[in-house]
């Protein structure tokens, strides 16, 4: 629950007010997290902790995504590029029964785990009895990536092109070195057991160097006309994969920001063009120790003979107080697969390949009502958490999620508010008379249309008596 507030404020530059007609249309724009000042806005503190089946399924999914990406690149025009922002990380229910699952991908899966060292990794990770963070999982996947790529390359040529890649002696040497010669389990065990960070970093650096050297040889052996796709598949894939895994957990979200204070010097500087902007004062509704604002946003879709259109309606949107913490809240990956069907979770993500054994993580999804409540609570925590260095903002925020793609377009993320909820406008110290005139004229029209005569305008100024920014009424 948030403490009740009667008013919140929103700083805006004159440029944005006029360019996007925000006052004429009484609109608030919901921004992408990546467009906000804090570059950590889109960060999820994902952790991985589970049993051996769960970790083995993580490797299985990694193989599946790499296998599909390889297949797509193989049939593309030589000048066509894979979309690095949209790796095939989703599985549909139908894809579980595709023939490829029992042919090529099955052979890839079993050959990959035919490496004695790689076969030990899921057990080591499960027995660690502590969560793995993103950097750790990324490093483990990077360490096995080249072997995974060569397994897919080899099995594909055998089945699809009837070629035996292992006939090349140099290729064969690299393949066997990656399969038998690298102590993947030792590297992972060191990460689990060692408390010496320098020792771990040296190990990572050594593995990275070897990976680069092997990649150079592969580029010579299997040069491709499309250098972009080869680079993506052999070297960049792990980072891209890790960055996009969060799409399996939560839908994209968009944010509208408010603050508790109208006289914050830093906020005037950062968000109101150094005083050449305004601060909008909004009336906030309080119900059961929660704060709300009434906004007209997308509520659904309708279809007719012409096509599909979005429906927008007014409704109360909860306003959340931002928490400022040193550590971002953890999101348990195996317990947060909210963008995947329950069948895919059970029959791919949390089971062995033959679907005869299931991870204990499946139990988290048994009572979907409890799971859903915790899932949405965790979403609010991660969306409304920022590091302590932003504490001066005293921020509150409203967010919308891109469920079913309802907010794909910029215009769909413009939410209209009721004029009665805009109480006042505070002018920055540098706002010109001309701009004040334009703004008061727009508000006067709204007042006339809504039969309202209580709207207030203020100037902000620095008081040498109180030593802070104060308000005086603007007439």
Q: Which of 254, 174, 270 is nearest to 222 (CA)?
A: 174
Could you give phi then psi for residue 3, rounded to 5 degrees? -65, 140
Strands 290-303 and 414-417, bridge-based pairing: antiparallel
Contact present, 62 and 148 (Cβ < 8 Å): yes
CA–CA separation, 122 vs 61, rounded Å? 13
Residue 29 and residue 52 share a domain: no
DSSP assignment, residue 132? B
% of the chain surpassing 70 pLDDT:
90
Structural domain contains residue 421:
yes
Task: Check residue 186 and give its pLDDT.
Answer: 77
Same-domain pairing of 88 and 235: yes
173 in the same domain as 28: no
Q: Helix count (H) and strand count (E) of the chain?
A: 15, 16
Q: What is the pLDDT of residues 158-183, one digit of tens each?
A: 876 665 555 677 778 888 888 887 78
The H-or-E segment that residue 195 falls in is none
Q: Mean of the pLDDT values across residues 104-109?
A: 92
101 and 220 together in one domain: yes
The confidence score (pLDDT) of residue 308 equals: 74
Secondary structure of residue 408 in the 3-state scheme: coil
Do 451 and 437 belong to one domain? yes
**Which of 197, 214, 248 finishes a domain?**
248
The count of domains in the chain is 2
Mark whether 239 and 255 lie in a shared domain: no
Structure confidence by residue, pLDDT tens digits, 319-347: 999 999 999 999 999 999 999 999 999 99
> What separation in angstroms does the CA of 134 have from each of 175, 246, 320, 332?
27, 11, 27, 11
Is 80 in the same domain as 185?
yes
Other residues' Cβ atoms within 10 Å of the Cβ of residue 69 = 24
Q: Which residue has the tokens 């009667």?
A: 6
Q: Give me the residue label for tokens 């969306």.
A: 383
Lowest pLDDT segment from 48-57, 145-154, 450-459: 145-154
Measured from the Cβ of residue 158, the count of other Cβ atoms closer than 10 Å reads 15
Q: What is the largest CA-CA distance in the chain?
A: 87
User: What gap in Å lies between CA 268 and CA 290, rounded to an integer?
Assistant: 27
State whether 177 and 120 are in the same domain: yes
- Mean per-residue pLDDT for 128-146? 90
Single pTM value for the model: 0.87
Domain end: 248, 268, 292, which one?
Answer: 248
In a domain, 373, yes or no: no
For 354, phi and psi rounded to 5 degrees?
-85, 0
- Evaluate whether residue 454 is within a structural domain: yes
Residue 98 has pLDDT above 60, yes or no: yes
Tell me, what's the pLDDT at 224?
A: 47
In a domain, 336, yes or no: no
Contact of 290 with 1, CB cutoff 8 Å: yes
**pLDDT tens track for 26-79:** 999 999 998 888 888 889 999 999 999 999 999 999 999 999 999 888 888 878
In angstroms, the CA 238 to CA 174 distance is: 20
Q: Which 8-state DSSP code applies to residue 412?
A: G
The answer to whether residue 349 sits within a structural domain is: no
φ/ψ of 339, rounded to 5, equals: -105, 20
Q: Which helix (H) or strand (E) holds 294?
A: strand 290-303
β-pairing verdict for 330-332 and 45-47: parallel
Residue ending a domain, among 248, 263, 287, is: 248
With beta carbons less than 8 A apart as the criterion, state whether 72 and 82 touch. Answer: yes
Mean pLDDT, range 206-228, rounded to an integer: 61
User: Does any domain span residue 434?
Assistant: yes
**Among 460, 393, 453, residue whose Cα is nearest residue 426:** 460
> Which domain does 25 fall in, by range?
7-43+250-322+384-473
Residue 396 near residue 320 (C-beta atoms within 8 A): yes
Q: Angle 275-281-286 (CA atoms, 0-180°, nearest 5)?
A: 145
Q: pLDDT digit string (tens) for 204-216?
A: 666 666 666 666 6
d(CA 281, CA 455): 11
What are the structure tokens assigned to 414, written together?
A: 């413009």
| Average pLDDT of the residues of the chain | 88
Examine residue 333 and state whether it is found in any structural domain, yes or no: no
* Span 310-322, average pLDDT: 93
Tell me the average pLDDT across 79-108. 88
Q: Which long-range contacts (CB under 8 A, 24 or more apart) does 431-439 make?
A: 431/14, 431/275, 431/276, 431/277, 431/278, 435/14, 436/474, 438/18, 439/17, 439/23, 439/278
Query: Is residue 209 domain-shared with residue 182, that is, in the same domain?
Result: yes
Q: Please check whether residues 185 and 299 belong to one and the same domain.
A: no
Same domain, residue pair 143 and 236 = yes
Is the confidence at residue 226, as pLDDT, over 60?
no
Residue 195 has pLDDT above 90, yes or no: no
Strand 395-401 with 253-259, pairing: antiparallel
397: closest CA among 322, 293, 315?
A: 322
Q: 187-191, 296-300, 381-385: which has the minimum mean pLDDT? A: 187-191
For residue 324, the SS3 value is: strand
Rg (CA), the chain: 28
Tokens representing 240 are: 């891209």
Residue 381 tokens, joined: 């925590």
Tell me if 244 sits within 8 A of 138, measured CB to CB: no
Please state, in angstroms and rounded to a whole number, the distance separating the CA atoms of residues 333 and 50: 9
Note whether 172 and 255 are same-domain residues.
no
More confident residue, 415 or 196: 415
In sequence order, the β-bridge partners of residue 436 are none
Q: Which residues pair with 259 in a beta bridge?
A: 9, 395
Mean pLDDT, residues 440-466:
95
Q: Establish if 394 belongs to a structural domain.
A: yes
């Amino acid at each position: 629950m948030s403490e009740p507030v009667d008013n919140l404020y929103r700083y805006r530059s004159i440029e944005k007010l006029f360019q996007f007609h925000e006052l004429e249309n009484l609109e608030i724009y919901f921004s992408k997290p990546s467009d906000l000042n804090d570059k950590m806005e889109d960060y999820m503190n994902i952790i991985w902790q589970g049993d051996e089946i769960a970790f083995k399924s993580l490797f299985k999914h990694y193989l599946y995504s790499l296998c599909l990406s390889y297949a797509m690149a193989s049939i593309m025009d030589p000048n066509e590029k894979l979309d690095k922002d949209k790796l095939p990380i989703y599985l549909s229910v139908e894809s579980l029964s595709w023939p490829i699952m029992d042919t090529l991908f099955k052979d890839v899966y079993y050959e990959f785990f035919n490496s004695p060292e790689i076969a030990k990794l899921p057990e080591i990770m499960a027995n660690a009895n502590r969560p793995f963070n993103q950097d750790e999982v990324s490093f483990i996947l990077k360490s096995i990536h080249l072997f995974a790529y060569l397994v897919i390359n080899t099995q594909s040529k055998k089945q699809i092109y009837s070629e035996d890649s292992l006939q090349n002696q140099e290729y064969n040497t690299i393949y066997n070195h990656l399969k038998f010669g690298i102590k993947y389990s030792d590297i992972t065990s060191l990460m689990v057991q060692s408390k010496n960070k320098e020792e771990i970093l040296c190990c990572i650096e050594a593995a990275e160097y070897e990976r680069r050297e092997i990649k150079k040889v592969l580029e010579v052996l299997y040069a491709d006309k499309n250098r972009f796709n080869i680079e993506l598949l052999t070297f960049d894939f792990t980072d891209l994969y890790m960055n996009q895994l969060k799409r399996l957990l939560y839908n994209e979200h968009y944010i509208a920001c408010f603050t508790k204070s109208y006289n914050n010097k830093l906020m005037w500087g950062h968000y109101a063009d150094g005083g050449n902007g305004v601060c909008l004062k909004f009336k906030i509704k309080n119900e059961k120790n929660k704060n709300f604002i009434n906004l007209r946003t997308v509520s659904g879709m309708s279809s007719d003979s012409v096509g599909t259109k979005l429906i927008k309606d007014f409704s109360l949107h909860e306003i959340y107080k931002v928490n400022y913490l040193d550590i971002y809240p953890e999101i348990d990956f195996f317990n947060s697969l909210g963008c995947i069907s329950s069948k895919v979770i059970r029959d791919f993500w949390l089971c062995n390949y033959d679907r005869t054994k299931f991870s204990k993580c499946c139990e988290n999804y048994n009572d979907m009502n409890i799971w859903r409540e915790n899932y949405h609570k965790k979403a609010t925590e991660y969306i409304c958490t920022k590091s302590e260095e932003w504490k001066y903002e005293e921020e509150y925020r409203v967010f919308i999620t891109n469920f079913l793609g309802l907010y794909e377009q910029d215009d769909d993320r413009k939410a209209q508010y009721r004029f009665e909820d805009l109480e006042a406008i505070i002018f920055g110290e540098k706002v010109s008379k001309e701009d004040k005139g334009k703004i008061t004229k727009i508000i006067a029209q709204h007042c006339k249309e809504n039969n309202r005569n209580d709207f207030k305008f203020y100037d902000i100024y620095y008081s040498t008596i109180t030593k802070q920014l104060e308000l005086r009424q603007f007439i």
